Amino acid sequence: MREPTREQGLAIYRMMQLIRRFEERVAECFAGGEIPGFIHLSVGQEAPPAAVCALLGPDDLVGATHRGHGQCLAKGAPPDRMMAELFGRATGTCRGKGGSMHLCDMAHGVLGTNGVVGASLPIAVGTALASRVRGSGQVTAAFFGDGAANTGAAHEALNLASVWELPVVFVCENNLYAEFTPQSVHTKAGSIAQRAGAYGMRGVRVDGNDVPAVFAAAAEAVELARGGRGPTLIEAMTYRFRGHHEGDPMAYRQKAELEEWRAKDPLPRFRGWLGERGWLTDAERARLEAEVQAEVNAATEFARQSPWPAPEAALEGVYA
């Protein structure tokens, strides 16, 4: 079983901090009316994107979900331009045309968050197909949720990736809810990973709040994909601490359940793991967290100071 090195572990922890602080700031700015539209946060779900993307290189690709800020940040998208996109500013990664649910950063291999649940899986299969045909050696990580697992697009994509033995790692962030609907209502089978067998691919279910567990599963999956040995389906069991979208009163879940999962918060948990190894001293932690806070502050200021797009820019770029 592969474990993160000290350097990887610290990078993953830093990324989890960045995702958490970035999204907490997004929540504040949304509540304050600075961010328009709809916002879906992944607070509590930081471990899978941070651990999986730590194993990917700059040329590899990520298909993200509508709850994809963390997936984009983990793949290397710059927080300032991401924040500017959420603010709807001209300096955003998509020049204000996309927003939170349609956030793309091809320069860092981010294929886009996707406003249609399940729709990013077939597209990730396509980027993997191109890697294969071009012999580029790229791996694509396709993130999706438990809700997406029940779409036709997901079934078709998993089957096709397996038939063609494409270099994809499917990462299901199972947070137990499809929007407002709990798993007991939307899925009969106990696990999503077990579906892998039906597609003829490897499947593994891990504790998605346990960084080393996610890392080990992803390390094997990425290695196999890169070696031309086809896709893997990883199901990471996790939980979102906030609602489906900001403003969701969360009437559909019990306080006790939320508290139970808060006790499994992946950040302190991984901090403990790093601490046990003597890899994260208090001084190092303080320095790292201050750095992250400064980065989020700078991103927010960048977004606030950025110009709005000219209204006429709405007419540009329908066709290449």
Partner 1 sequence: MRYVKAIADAITEEMARDERVILLGEDVGAPGGTFGATKGLLQQFGGERVRDTPISETAIVGAAIGAAANGLRPIVEIMFMDFIGTCWDQVVNQMAKMHYMFGGQVRLPVVLRTHTGAGLNAGPQHSGSLEAWAVHVPGLKVVMPSTPADVKGLLKSAIRDDNPVIVVENKTLYATKGEVPAGEHLVPIGRAEVRREGKDVTVVALSRMVHEALKAADLLSKDGISAEVLDPRTLSPLDRDALLGSVAKTGRLVIAHEAWGPCGFGAEIAAIAAEGAFRSLKAPVRRVTPPFTPVPFSPPMEKRWLPDAGKIAAAVREVCA
Residue 214 in tokens: 């996610």
Please tell me whether residue 105 binds partner 1 under the rule CB under 8 A: yes
Site for partner 1 in 158-177 (CB under 8 A): 159-160, 163-164
**Smallest distance from the beta carbon of 107 to partner 1, in angstroms?**
8
Identity of the residue, 54 or 61, whose beta carbon is nearer to partner 1 in the bound complex: 61
Which of 295, 299, 274, 269 has its CA nearest to residue 285? 274
Q: Which is nearer to partner 1, 111 or 274 (CB)?
A: 111
| CB neighbours of residue 7 within 10 Å | 10
Given candidates 4, 70, 122, 203, which one binds partner 1 under the rule CB under 8 A? 122
Asked if 106 is part of the footprint of partner 1 (rule: CB under 8 A), the reply reads: yes
The span from the CA of 67 to the CA of 51, in Å, is: 17
Burial 36-60 (b: 16+ CB within 10 A, else e): eeebbbbbbbbbbbbbbbbbbeeeb
* Among residues 76, 115, 137, 275, the one that binds partner 1 under rule CB under 8 A: 115
Cβ of residue 143: shortest distance to partner 1, in angstroms?
A: 14
Candidate residues 17, 138, 175, 209; the one interacting with partner 1 per rule CB under 8 A: 138
Are the beta carbons of 172 and 124 closer than 8 angstroms? no
Residues 58-97 that bind partner 1 (CB under 8 A): 61, 63, 92-97
Closest CA to 229 of 202, 192, 203, 206: 202
Q: How far is the CB of 155 from partner 1 (least distance, A)?
A: 8
Q: Supply the minimum distance, in Å, between the C-beta of residue 105 and partner 1.
A: 7
Nearest approach in angstroms of CB 300 to partner 1 is: 21
Rounded to the nearest 10°, the torsion over CA 123, 129, 133, 137 is: 100
Label residues 189-201 b or e (16+ Cβ within 10 Å = b).
eeebbebbeebeb
Q: What whole-number distance in Å separates Cα of residue 320 and Cα of residue 304?
A: 30
Q: Please identify, among the stretches 37-45, 128-136, 200-208, 229-237, the one whose residues bind partner 1 according to the rule CB under 8 A.
A: 128-136
- Least distance to partner 1 from the beta carbon of 106, Å? 4
Number of residues that bind partner 1 (CB under 8 A): 49
Report the residue from 121, 206, 274, 280 that binds partner 1 according to the rule CB under 8 A: 121
Binding mask 298-317 for partner 1 (x = CB under 8 A): -------------------x
Q: Which amino acid is at 23?
A: E
Q: How many CA atoms lie within 13 A of 283 on its CB side?
A: 0
Which contacts of 176-179 are long-range, i.e. CB under 8 A and separated by 24 or more positions? Answer: 176/146, 176/237, 176/239, 177/146, 177/147, 177/240, 177/244, 177/252, 177/253, 178/117, 178/145, 178/146, 178/147, 178/150, 179/147, 179/244
Site stretch for partner 1 (CB under 8 A), options 64-72, 113-121, 189-197, 209-217? 113-121
Residues that bind partner 1 (CB under 8 A): 61, 63, 92-98, 102, 104-107, 111-112, 114-116, 119, 121-134, 136, 138, 140, 152-153, 156-157, 159-160, 163-164, 317-320
